[in-house]
Amino acid sequence: MNDNDLRLTAPDASLYNADLAPLPHAERRWGAFEIFNVWANDIQSLFGYTLAASLFLSYGLNGWAVMAAIILAGLVVMVLVNLTGRPSVKYGIPFPVVVRASLGVHGANLPAMLRAVIGIFWYGVQTYFASTAVTLLLTALGVPEGGQFLGLSSVAWLAFVVVWAFQLAMFWAGIERIKHFLNWAGPLVYAVMIVLMGVVWWQAGASLLPAIGNIFSGNSDAAGSAVGAFFTVVGTMIAYFAAVVINFGDFARFVKSERAMRLGNWLGLPLNVAVFSFIALIITAGTLALFGEALTNPSDIVDRVDSLPLTIVAALTFFAATVGINLVANFIPPAYDLSNLFPRRINFRIGGLITAIIAFFIGALWVSVISRIGIPGFVNAIGAVIAPFYGIIVIDYYVIRRGRLDVQALFSTAPGSAYYYQNGWNRRALIAFAVGALFSLASVWVPALAALEGFAWLLGASLGGACYYALMRGHTVSTAPSGAP
């Protein structure tokens, strides 16, 4: 497919702006390295490290079983994003436009807005956590904490505003500047984590290997079968990446070729996750040897090591890592989703500005209000609810339409056009979504289904896709490529 196939003819203004339009091949500058760094920044945050380290301690599994489960989760996520990324690589369109084919040109706003709500909320929360790294740096340099307001000290407020403004400036500079930041942050985090591993290893000395053996033995009080624990680890890791899986097309559209996307996903998911988890294991074992307890929070580790140079470097790295995941998982997706809602009034930049403004108040109120009133559980429920959209998108593109989209129709509200359905909404897709979402919600809220919570996303996506196939199987759809009669 060449750029002439992607050129639109009189697109409907209510569905179109330059940021949503198909990206010409000449403007796609991302390769495998950039995709690798999308995933590197996704896992190498403060929370990502804590998750990887805690998996070796929480389920009573042999360490090799935990590593196998982590690698399997990386392989599963790689397959999932290769599927959602392919149409965006082929046609140069972001997630909200791809989903128009299955939900309808207006119905696509439903998954887009649900995804935007999740992204904006966690963008605010991650902005607060990124600011804690800057707070750590400032206090290490002797800046006084000052008074308290809404649960934050004066220096914490300064750090929060600095991080918020930095992220907005980075976003405002454009997607290429974000790419350069991710390409710098990903390798830097690896370098600092290796240095931290070396410091801990050197200080632990001969006691490190017995500590590793203790963790790998899987001797804990965790209850349940080893098989169940293995798949719980797999489900937990898949759930961690779920926020990016559904809208991976927002990044894949910038890739030069599908081969580059697949290579980047291979390097960034199973291989990257395995190596990073191994580093987390060594550092955690070192803390067990040094301090008599396994520390899984990098900030706690740096504080215990008590080295000002290490504290400064680590704080800057934690800041870069958390900003990286925030841009990848929580900023870019809402910007596209809000743009898709009102293309004539909201472009990519304005969508990002709206995201940043709302997120400022979420992050500012996180400590004093939001973390205490159960909103995170509500947002997690929304995250489970959007899972069926993944199954619907994949079944629609690969099974119903056999890998072909009519790009012109994705930007058309003409009655009778391929994706207009009933007034712009595909009711069959909505029914499939409702069935899958009902199960996903039940797995989160019904105690009897608590054991399935780690698999809620996968099961919800599978159920949504199966219902969509059953409802659409006898329905005639257009599989004409762009420009076909």
Fill in the DSSP letter of residue 149: E
Q: Is the pLDDT of residue 220 over 90?
A: no
**pLDDT band, very low/low/confident/very high, at 453 (cuts 50, 70, 90):** low
pLDDT one-digit tens code per residue, 188-203:
877 877 887 887 788 8
* Residue 153 host element (H or E): strand 152-153
Question: Between residues 296 and 90, which one has the greater pLDDT?
Answer: 90
Question: Between residues 242 and 399, which one has the greater pLDDT?
Answer: 399
pLDDT above 90: percentage of residues in the chain: 38
Residue-wise over 441-472: b if at least 16 C-beta within 10 A, else e? Answer: bebbeeeeeeebbbbbbbbbbbbbbbbbbebb
The three-class DSSP label of residue 214 is helix
**Considering the entire predicted model, what is its pTM?**
0.87
Sign of CA dihedral 243, 248, 249, 255: positive
Q: Is the pLDDT of residue 223 over 50?
A: no
Structural contact between residues 458 and 238, judged by C-beta atoms closer than 8 angstroms: yes
Terminal C-alpha separation, the chain: 16
Nearest to 175 by CA among 262, 254, 288, 264: 254
Residue ranges per structural domain of the chain: 18-386
Q: For residue 402, what are its two tokens?
A: 């056999």
Q: Is the pLDDT of residue 46 over 60?
A: yes
Nearest to 298 by CA among 483, 392, 272, 313: 313
Q: What is the pLDDT of residue 482?
A: 46
pLDDT one-digit tens code per residue, 62-94:
778 888 899 999 999 999 999 999 999 999 999
CB-based contacts of 470, cutoff 8 Å, min separation 6: none
Q: What is the pLDDT of residue 258?
A: 96
**pLDDT band, very low/low/confident/very high, at 221 (cuts 50, 70, 90):** very low
**pLDDT band, very low/low/confident/very high, at 52 (cuts 50, 70, 90):** confident
pLDDT above 70: percentage of residues in the chain: 90
Q: Identify the burial level of 479 via C-beta atoms within 10 angstroms of its C-beta, where 0-12 means exposed, 13-18 middle and 19 or more buried.
A: middle
CB atoms within 10 A of CB 29: 12
Q: How far apart are CA 33 and CA 31, in angstroms?
A: 5
Structural contact between residues 308 and 140, judged by C-beta atoms closer than 8 angstroms: yes
β-pairing, 148-149 vs 152-153, is antiparallel
**What's the rounded mean pLDDT across residues 156-176?**
90
Q: What is the pLDDT of residue 378?
A: 61
Q: Does domain 18-386 have CATH number 1.10.4160.10?
A: yes
Question: Between residues 268 and 309, which one has the greater pLDDT?
Answer: 268
Q: What is the pLDDT of residue 268?
A: 92
Q: Is the pLDDT of residue 5 over 80?
A: no
Q: How far apart are CA 113 and CA 377, in angstroms?
A: 18
Q: Is the pLDDT of residue 222 over 50?
A: no
